Structure 1
Amino acid sequence: MSVDNISHLGATGLDELVPSRYAVQIGDIEVLVISDGVLPITASTLATNAEPADLVGWLDDNFLPPEVVDWPLNVIVVRSGDQTILVDAGLGLEFPDFPRAGQTVMRLEAAGVDLAAVTDVVLTHMHMDHVGGLLTEGLKDRLRPDLRVHASTAEAEFWAAPDFSHTVMPQPIPDVLRSVASRFLDEYRSRLRTFETEYEVAPGVLVSRTGGHTPGHSVVRLESRGEKLTFAGDAVFAPGFDNPEWQNGFEHDPEDAARVRRRLLREVAATGEQLVATHLPFPSVCRVAAVGDAFRCVPAVWDY
């Protein structure tokens, strides 16, 4: 994978009117943001503890519909040294009710990323829109036999008997989440490499458990030659900048998730580093500015 080769017109497999990949250089580390597509989500799930009028106001201010919104899905590919690391794997192709998502494998191929060259997969957590891509029919046989899949110990243990008592998810999502995570662990347990608090996957690539969204939810911090980028997974959603206390219906510990979100946004605002997150609009590359007790997402200027 080369930033020069994948970020310009004429690259092999470029067949989309709107690009679905975006390259960022962090010192010596190459980063490729890939759009897995979008999911429809009930708007109320974005802020289960907000006053309905406040949420409607936020949606209106952001030109979003009041009932169902499109939820972006992003993954990243990281190249550090001789390692190629896929961070999260998208939804996969086994969910016909979500035909506009599950594009990661196709878009990796369009970007010239050979699946057999992927040395590591890092999972921020094991919700279906983060592991489903690894369950796509025929994919496992295309991965290298010594592939390492990294996730926190707490995450793997949680899905043995998941507790959804604090979530506010529409049916039948909880059962599907449980089924997909169980299947993933069955199929990939031999390749799973777990860590307790943090683990350096490759030079300058550190995965750190935050908890909150799920007990083992993790973020990936990249640092090289004084430049930094954090992939926040599901620690940050679009409403969370203006309203970091708003709770998402998929959060398994909503109060802890809000603490994680505020702490992470304060850190990123203080360092000035770049931020990418799963459910921010593609390519989601931004910086964070603190405004009192809230924050602003300042989109990066596209470098083309």
Structure 2
Amino acid sequence: MDFELTPHSVRMGTDDLVPSRYALRIGEIDVLVVSDGVLTLPGAMLGHNAEPAVRAAWLDYNFLPTDTLDWGLNVVVVRSGDRTILIDAGLGDDPNLNLPRAGQLAHRLEAAGIHLASVTDVVLTHMHMDHIGMLLVDGVKDQLRPDLRIHVAAAEVEFWTHPDFSHVSMPQGFPDALRAAAKRFAEEYRSNLQTFEEEHKVAPGVVVTRTGGHTPGHSVVRLASDGDRLMFAGDAVFAVGFEHPDWFNGFEHDPEEAARVRVRLLRELAASGELLVATHLPFPSVGHVAVDGDAFRWVPLFWDY
């Protein structure tokens, strides 16, 4: 079924207690941000290289608990020309990690009138399980097109053949779950993979670029049309990263490089004024970046009803 992603055409399902999708246009490109739910994770993962008291003070300043933190989990659907592109695919089924509030993507896409069979392309920022999980849910592959193209950096596919977890700071059980999900994904979708080295044009106005850092093949997706621009930054940017871009996130496989990537992207966004959407910013995570002294400032977009 065809769909038009405009603020007035998207209706909330009766099962949604809070808004879970937000539509906007980038020139001639339709964009829909969809919430896959939230991940409740230890607060220490927010910046495991920061002094605990400093990290706790930041959380308290933002009226957040210091022991656990709810991370948003956002996915984007893009319509460019005759292509319907899913950028990342959410958590899917909870792999025994006590994340019951995520994994909402499949039914939220259906509620928005987006059928899996209409998706022509999937772009993966990386292969962590909260970005590939819906594709592994029982019955999902049978609903997808046989000629579905899944775009992912070649370095990402290679990394997950022998992943390095020596620099992460994850809760127990996560490394094994991440390995298992990535291995299963590579096996089940090998014939659909369209790998690229550094940069690849997916559709008119839709370009994916490898950044590395978070994972070796981590990538961002840039949309550009009629002078409008938006970057989907995946896991390169977290809520604390504007004020403390040097804080390491627990899921970063190369945290020092991830911090360098984060600063570079934030500087680019502040200079260009383009919109930012990122996986783990609070939904709908659409906004601008401004320079604030030696750090940055997040400026959420005013919602367009």
TM over 0.5: yes
What runs of 5+ residues in structure 2 fail to find an aligned partner? none
Match of 2:32 in 1: 32
What pairs up with 1:219-238 in 2 under 5 angstroms? Answer: 219-238=220-239
Q: What's the CA shift string for 1:144-202, capped at 9, x where partnerless?
A: 11000000000000000000111111111111100100000010011000000010000
Match of 1:82 in 2: 82
Contact 1:12–1:112 (CA<8 Å) still a contact in 2? no
The separation in 2 between residues aligned to 1:100 and 1:228, in whole angstroms, is: 31
Contact 1:213–1:235 (CA<8 Å) still a contact in 2? yes
Matched, 1:283 2:284: yes
Aligned with 1:25: secondary structure?
Answer: strand
Q: Which amino acid aligns with 1:16?
A: D
Q: What's the CA shift string for 1:103-136, capped at 9, x where partnerless?
A: 0111001111111010000000000000011001
Match of 2:61 in 1: 61
Q: What's the CA shift string for 1:251-292, capped at 9, x where partnerless?
A: 011100000000000000000000000000000001000112
Contact 2:207–2:222 (CA<8 Å) still a contact in 1? yes
Aligned-pair identity in percent equals 67
What pairs up with 1:181-260 in 2 under 5 angstroms? Answer: 181-260=182-261
- TM-score scaled by length of structure 2: 0.97
Backbone CA RMSD of aligned residues: 1.2
Contact 1:13–1:109 (CA<8 Å) still a contact in 2? no
Rate the CA distance shift 1:276–1:12 in 2: closer, same or farther, 3 A.
Answer: closer
Match of 2:170 in 1: 169
Q: Which amino acid aligns with 1:95?
A: P
Q: Which amino acid aligns with 2:169?
A: V
- TM-score scaled by length of structure 1: 0.97
The separation in 1 between residues aligned to 2:49 and 2:32, in whole angstroms, is: 34
Match of 2:110 in 1: 109
The separation in 2 between residues aligned to 1:133 and 1:115, in whole angstroms, is: 11
What runs of 5+ residues in structure 1 fail to find an aligned partner? none
Q: Which amino acid aligns with 1:158?
A: F
Matched, 1:122 2:127: no
Contact 1:14–1:110 (CA<8 Å) still a contact in 2? no
Contact 1:81–1:203 (CA<8 Å) still a contact in 2? yes
Match of 1:51 in 2: 51
The separation in 1 between residues aligned to 2:201 and 2:195, in whole angstroms, is: 12
The separation in 1 between residues aligned to 2:9 and 2:223, in whole angstroms, is: 27
Contact 2:206–2:223 (CA<8 Å) still a contact in 1? yes
Rate the CA distance shift 1:10–1:276 in 2: closer, same or farther, 3 A.
Answer: closer
**Which aligned runs of 4 or more in structure 1 are off by greater than 3 angstroms?**
7-15
Contact 2:10–2:112 (CA<8 Å) still a contact in 1? no
What pairs up with 1:6-25 in 2 under 5 angstroms? Answer: 7-8=7-8, 11=11, 13-25=13-25
Match of 1:2 in 2: 4
Range moving further from structure 2, 48-57 or 94-103: 94-103
Contact 2:211–2:218 (CA<8 Å) still a contact in 1? yes
Contact 1:94–1:136 (CA<8 Å) still a contact in 2? no
Aligned with 1:242: secondary structure?
Answer: coil
Rate the CA distance shift 1:207–1:10 in 2: closer, same or farther, 3 A.
Answer: closer
Contact 2:12–2:19 (CA<8 Å) still a contact in 1? no
Match of 1:263 in 2: 264
